[in-house]
């Protein structure tokens, strides 16, 4: 049976003052605590509290489903990531996947593997962040799993969304001659990570406001749902993906599944002022970081050049910067072109688990 109430999602009930930690609360107490903080959602018939959640997909729409696992000391560090923003990001990366299909995010499942040293306060703050992100994007938390972890904190999130079949945007539709677009600026999250690696204990301190913004891009990304939905609705785009592993790797997925290639003009890749300022601190060629650094959660999409002005206008209306950065080619390779015209073939250099 669905446990709902009219409480504000930002407030987690602390009425039981004797509840000091998770072992005191117990598994089912923890589930009830999380459920009581969640809000009802569109299409939710039965939420947290039965063997399975029951939802109604909107008539005529298809179901979109994606899942992400975030592991402590692999995807995040507790020393860098405060629990509130970790909760936000845990859902944001999944919402971004639904956005990249042109879908409307609807329902989420949240599973936690909780180490013995984690406080109840951490879980409360994490949940508060998760539910704030959910609320901002119209997502309802409808289920999950909680268990004890003997390793670090484990987060697994499944998201479901929906969309009319004709508006779903896949990776496979890019055509030679299409523009390659990206939203926002690239490399900020990767640069933020470089800053944290150099200054692990005092977030942003010494790097000024620009540094804080870069670090915030890493720790609290914003999925581009509104822009993605607007793009899908117009029918003007041929393929889309979210940039989680870096532009080269992610456009590489579009190229592979569309059986095309592409050329990225390096000097067209949008860089933020903060990124440019911080570039002097790193030893590598900054464009490498911009096109190969992951976790920006911007969109990469393709569209015929005839649509260029309309897309620019549409993105402006959404309040999102969007930039054409290259062109889809018939060659199966993904290349970059520097300002002086030199070209080099690129292998996908995005983040890859299991490479040692």
Range 161-190, binding a second copy (CB under 8 A): 161, 165, 168, 170-172
Integer-rounded Cα radius of gyration of the chain? 21
Going by C-alpha positions, the residue among 235, 202, 204 that lies closest to residue 218 is 204
Chain position carrying tokens 């107490």: 29
Q: Does 152 bind a second copy (CB under 8 A)?
A: yes
Binding residues among 316-355 for a second copy as defined by CB under 8 A: 352-355
CB of 270 to a second copy, least distance (A): 21
Extract the tokens encoding 308. 């260029």
Binding residues among 268-307 for a second copy as defined by CB under 8 A: none
How would you class 350 by CB atoms within 10 Å of its CB: exposed for 0-12, middle for 13-18, buried for 19 or more?
Answer: buried
Identified binder of a second copy from the candidate list 132, 154, 199, 335, rule CB under 8 A:
154
Q: Are strands 261-265 and 334-337 parallel, antiparallel or unpaired?
A: parallel
Identified binder of a second copy from the candidate list 10, 45, 338, 339, rule CB under 8 A:
45
Q: Which H helix or E strand runs over 240?
A: strand 239-243
Identified binder of a second copy from the candidate list 38, 90, 127, 158, rule CB under 8 A:
158
Going by C-alpha positions, the residue among 111, 118, 115 that lies closest to residue 151 is 115
**Interatomic CA distance for residues 231 and 98, integer angstroms:** 13
Going by C-alpha positions, the residue among 22, 18, 12, 15 that lies closest to residue 119 is 22
Q: Does 19 bind a second copy (CB under 8 A)?
A: no
Q: Does 214 bind a second copy (CB under 8 A)?
A: no
Q: Does 79 bind a second copy (CB under 8 A)?
A: no
CB of 353 to a second copy, least distance (A): 4
CB of 91 or CB of 112, closer to a second copy? 112
Q: Does 65 bind a second copy (CB under 8 A)?
A: yes
The torsion angle over the Cα atoms of residues 254, 256, 260 and 261, rounded to 10 degrees, is: 80
Q: Which H helix or E strand runs over 344?
A: strand 343-345
Q: Does 5 bind a second copy (CB under 8 A)?
A: no
Identified binder of a second copy from the candidate list 7, 10, 16, 23, rule CB under 8 A:
23
**Interatomic CA distance for residues 306 and 257, integer angstroms:** 23
Number of residues near a second copy (by CB under 8 A): 74
Q: Does 198 bind a second copy (CB under 8 A)?
A: no
Coil vs helix vs strand at 48: strand
Q: Does 97 bind a second copy (CB under 8 A)?
A: yes
Identified binder of a second copy from the candidate list 38, 68, 83, 224, rule CB under 8 A:
68
CB of 256 or CB of 321, closer to a second copy? 256
Q: Does 241 bind a second copy (CB under 8 A)?
A: yes
Q: Does 77 bind a second copy (CB under 8 A)?
A: no
Identified binder of a second copy from the candidate list 49, 138, 176, 177, rule CB under 8 A:
49
Q: What DSSP designation does 339 have?
A: T
């Amino acid at each position: 049976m669905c446990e709902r109430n009219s409480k504000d999602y930002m407030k987690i009930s602390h009425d039981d003052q004797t509840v000091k930690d998770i072992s005191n609360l117990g598994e089912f107490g923890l589930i009830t605590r999380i459920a009581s903080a969640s809000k009802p959602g569109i299409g939710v018939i039965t939420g947290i509290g039965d063997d399975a959640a029951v939802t109604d997909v909107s008539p005529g729409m298809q179901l979109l489903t994606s899942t992400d696992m975030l592991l402590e000391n692999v995807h995040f560090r507790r020393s860098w990531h405060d629990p509130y923003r970790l909760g936000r990001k845990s859902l944001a990366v999944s919402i971004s996947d639904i956005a990249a299909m042109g879908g409307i995010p609807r329902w989420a499942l949240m599973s936690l593997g909780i180490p013995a040293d984690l406080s109840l306060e951490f879980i409360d703050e994490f949940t508060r962040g998760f539910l704030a992100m959910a609320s901002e994007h119209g997502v309802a938390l409808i289920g999950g799993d909680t268990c004890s972890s003997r390793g670090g904190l484990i987060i697994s999130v499944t998201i479901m969304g929906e969309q009319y079949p004709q508006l779903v945007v896949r990776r496979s539709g890019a055509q030679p001659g299409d523009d390659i677009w990206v939203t926002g600026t690239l490399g900020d999250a990767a640069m933020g990570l470089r800053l944290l690696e150099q200054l692990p204990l005092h977030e942003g301190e010494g790097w000024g406001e620009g540094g804080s913004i870069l670090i915030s891009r890493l720790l609290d990304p914003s999925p581009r749902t509104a822009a993605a939905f607007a793009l899908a609705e117009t029918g003007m785009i041929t393929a889309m993906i979210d940039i989680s592993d870096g532009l080269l790797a992610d456009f590489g997925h579009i190229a592979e599944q569309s059986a095309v290639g592409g050329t990225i003009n390096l000097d067209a890749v949008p860089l933020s002022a903060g990124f440019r300022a911080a570039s002097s601190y790193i030893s590598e060629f900054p464009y490498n970081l911009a096109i190969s650094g992951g976790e920006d959660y911007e969109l990469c999409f393709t569209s015929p050049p005839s649509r260029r002005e309309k897309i620019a206008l549409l993105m402006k209306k959404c309040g999102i910067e969007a930039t054409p950065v290259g062109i889809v080619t018939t060659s199966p390779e993904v290349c970059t072109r520097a300002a002086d015209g030199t070209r080099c073939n690129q292998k996908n250099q995005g983040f890859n688990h299991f490479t040692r």
